[in-house]
Amino acid sequence: MRFLVAFIAFPAIVSPLFVCDAADRSTYAIVRSGKASDVSDELFPPSRIEDRFGDSCFDADTRTAWNAYLRLWHSHAEHPDTPSIRRYFSLPLDGEIEIKSAPGRAAPRILGWKRGTYQRFDSPHFVIHSQASKLATTEVAEDLERCYWIWTQVFFPLWDGSAQVAISLRDWKPNQSAADFLEKHPNRLSTRQKMNVVLFRDAGQYVAALAGHVPGVERSTGFYSDASRTTFLFAGGNEPANSNLGEMVATRRHELTHQLFREATRAKTRSGRSGNAGMPGDASRFWLVEGIAGYFESMVCEGRNATLGGWDASRMAYSRYRILVGGDFLPLSELESQGRIAVQQRHDIARWYAHSINYTHYLLDGELDANRCWLYERLAELYDVDMKMHSDAGRSDHLPEPSMSELQAFLTVSDQDLMANPARRQLQRLCLAHGEVTDAGLRAIPEQKSLEWLDLSRLPITTEAVARLVPDPSSLRQLNLEATAIDRDLARWLLKAGNLEELDLSFTRVDSQIDVPLSNMHSLETLWLTGTNVTDSVLDVVERLPRLKSLDVQRTSLSSDRIERFRQSRPDVKLNPLELR
Write the single-letter amino acid at 234.
F
Count of all residues that appear for the chain in the document: 581
Model pLDDT for residues 237-255, shown as the tens digit of each residue: 655 444 577 888 999 999 9
**How does DSSP classify residue 46?**
P
Are 1 and 365 in contact by the 8 Å Cβ rule? The answer is yes
Which DSSP helix (H) or strand (E) runs through 336?
helix 332-337
Helices (H), 478-580: 490-494, 515-519, 537-542, 560-569
Q: Give me the mean pLDDT over the 64-78 stretch.
A: 88
* Of the listed ranges 6-15, 173-182, 439-448, the one predicted with least confidence: 6-15
The residue with greater pLDDT, 26 or 383, is: 383
Given a cut of 70, is residue 18 above it in pLDDT?
A: no
Reported as a pLDDT band with limits 50, 70 and 90, residue 44 is low
Q: Give me the mean pLDDT over the 466-493 stretch.
A: 97
Q: For the chain, which residues make up each domain, given as ranges?
A: 26-34+43-268+278-407, 413-575
- For 276, counting Cβ atoms within 10 Å of its Cβ (0-12 exposed, 13-18 middle, 19+ buried), the class is exposed
Given a cut of 50, is residue 39 above it in pLDDT?
A: no
* Of the listed ranges 145-149, 355-359, 404-408, the one predicted with least confidence: 145-149
Pairing, β 526-528 against β 550-552: parallel
pLDDT at residue 15 in the model: 30
Q: Give me the mean pLDDT over the 188-204 stretch.
A: 94
| Phi, psi angle pair for 527, to nearest 5° | -135, 125
Given a cut of 70, is residue 92 above it in pLDDT?
A: yes
* Of the listed ranges 198-212, 263-277, 281-295, 495-509, the one predicted with least confidence: 263-277
The residue with greater pLDDT, 494 or 421, is: 494
pLDDT at residue 396 in the model: 63
- Output the DSSP codes for 430-490: EE-TTSB--HHHHTTSPP-SS-SEEE-TTS---HHHHHHH-S-GGG-SEEE-TTSS--TTH
Radius of gyration of the chain (CA): 26
Q: Give me the mean pLDDT over the 171-180 stretch.
A: 95
Mean pLDDT of the chain: 87
- The number of beta carbons lying within 10 Å of the beta carbon of residue 386 is 9
Given a cut of 80, is residue 259 above it in pLDDT?
A: yes
**CB burial readout 323-340, b (16+ within 10 A) else e:** bbbeebebebeebbebbb
Give CB contacts under 8 A, 24+ apart, made by 308-311: 308/25, 308/26, 308/28, 308/150, 308/154, 309/24, 309/25, 309/26, 309/361, 309/364, 309/365, 310/22, 310/24, 310/25, 310/365, 310/421, 311/24, 311/413, 311/417, 311/418, 311/421
pLDDT at residue 28 in the model: 67
Model pLDDT for residues 289-336, shown as the tens digit of each residue: 999 999 999 998 775 567 889 999 999 999 999 999 999 999 999 999
Taking the domain 413-575, which CATH number applies? 3.80.10.10
Q: Is 98 helix (H, G, I), strand (E, B) or coil?
A: coil
Q: Which stretch, 76-85, 270-279, 304-313, 483-492, has highest mean pLDDT? A: 483-492
- The number of beta carbons lying within 10 Å of the beta carbon of residue 217 is 18
pLDDT at residue 578 in the model: 81
Q: Which of 282, 296, 280 is nearest to 385 (CA)?
A: 280
pLDDT at residue 73 in the model: 85
pLDDT at residue 104 in the model: 93
Given a cut of 60, is residue 22 above it in pLDDT?
A: no
pLDDT at residue 274 in the model: 39
Cα 163 from Cα 185, distance rounded (Å): 17
Reported as a pLDDT band with limits 50, 70 and 90, residue 567 is very high
Write the single-letter amino acid at 420.
A
Cα 187 from Cα 184, distance rounded (Å): 9
Could you give the strand order of the β-sheet that contains 478-480, starting from the edge strand earlier in sequence? Answer: 429-431, 453-455, 478-480, 502-504, 526-528, 550-552, 574-575
pLDDT at residue 581 in the model: 64
The residue with greater pLDDT, 9 or 100, is: 100
Q: At what angle do helices 134-154 and 60-78 cross, to 10 degrees?
A: 140
- The number of beta carbons lying within 10 Å of the beta carbon of residue 200 is 24
Q: Above pLDDT 70, what percent of the chain?
A: 87
